[in-house]
Structure 1
């Protein structure tokens, strides 16, 4: 399933496909990238990965892994008339890399993406530096208590607390994540081959992120022979922070210079 936002006035032939991270769904992009890029002239899709979204059954959620999520995206983009631009956040950034191993893309934007070497190091570092916040994050992956209880977000999720309206939107759309997918991100060797990535790719991280450390974003960029862009005074869930648009503007400038020819 996906949410589609047609271009207000179509300027670019290549559509955007937005891929959400863990514990959420395609509604992560509503009110920010979904609307922003449609206004700029892109047909924009926000996919709901298997088992994610208000109308998706959670019965088989724990059976879904990264391969299923990758096939979800491939099924959508192979139905499109033009090669898409993928924008993936966190787990969605890893899915973007896996899709790029199988399908030719116009470009890819990785936002605080899970590295090709997984998140064991990041989760270990998170636990050692802030075990209480780590516990909150881990508990949310199994049961989204934030939907029912007003609580302070874990450290590293936000630098600037979103508005009440945005926090209510976040709480409404939080959900548990596939245990299989979480374990795969911790332990699985995805055997990603950087040489298969022949399309433009940009790597973006956030200085205050405690889920995907900016150093890991930089290591991912180096793996692909690129440099990373690290935004200051932002954290993992940047799209809900008041200054999200500056990241969107950077992405648009990069696309115009590297992918829209």
Structure 2
């Protein structure tokens, strides 16, 4: 769709819905593949045209050589480049860091907003510092493993660490092993952006249809942080039970997909 940016798309099966297309934006340390595993085919089978972008420096997109210099605004521009190729404004669906990228996209494109947004376990408006401090006190070994992975591309957290940080206890171990191998270091500039945003006032966002979901067992984004994100968008946060941070891959991923599709159909169906 856009030269140099990987996009994985699934056309709607059967009679497509008269509704906006969906554009999924991944979080830190991964790429479009996290949506390809379950969500893209699941939504396509239900009549939605579903696309996932790999942000610059991620997956098979350009930019790995300069990943460290890429910031949140660069990622929001990546999203905009894909949006411009779509036949109508999409619903932007962002997870974790991708949720903050979507928030920044709304700030940067107030005059031409997307059809709507859905944020899943999103980084809150005040960034990641509270999450880092919480992990320092409750799970310092996991924070150390995350920092070591960021500093050394040849190091990967072991399966138990990855499961405790990102997944439910009953996640499929074989799938987990494959997913951990696909994780990649994140942009230092993006992490800096997410750390420094707390120093600036939170701006209002344009009014668009919005859904904000959190995960009850999330080790990274606490429920009160999900509430803060929802307040910024003028909606009520929803915390899904029996769910960990990587909601689109976790054991009960279909519950998150069903809630998202229920909202989509209620808004555009």
Normalization by structure 2: what TM-score? 0.89
Structure 2 partner of 1:131? 140
Structure 1 partner of 2:53? 47
Greater alpha carbon shift after TM alignment, 46-55 vs 156-165: 156-165
Gaps of 5+ in 1: none
SS at match of 1:72: helix
> Which of 17, 20, 24 is the equivalent residue of 1:11?
17
Matched, 1:157 2:162: no
**Cα distance, 1:54–1:168 mapped onto 2, change above 3 Å:** farther
Matched, 1:256 2:262: no
Structure 1 partner of 2:97? 91
SS at match of 2:161: coil
Deviation of residue 74 (structure 1)? Answer: 0.4
Residue pair 1:142, 1:177 contacting (<8 A) in 2 also: no
Deviations 1:89-112 (A, max 9, x none): 000000111112213111100001
Greater alpha carbon shift after TM alignment, 7-16 vs 82-91: 7-16
CA distance in 2 between counterparts of 1:122 and 1:154 reads: 18
Gaps of 5+ in 2: none
Residue pair 1:23, 1:177 contacting (<8 A) in 2 also: yes
Matched, 1:108 2:117: yes
Residue pair 2:120, 2:247 contacting (<8 A) in 1 also: no
Structure 1 partner of 2:227? 218
Deviations 1:16-38 (A, max 9, x none): 00000000001011221111111
**Cα distance, 1:191–1:180 mapped onto 2, change above 3 Å:** same
CA distance in 2 between counterparts of 1:207 and 1:145 reads: 32
Deviation of residue 146 (structure 1)? Answer: 6.2
Matched, 1:173 2:178: no
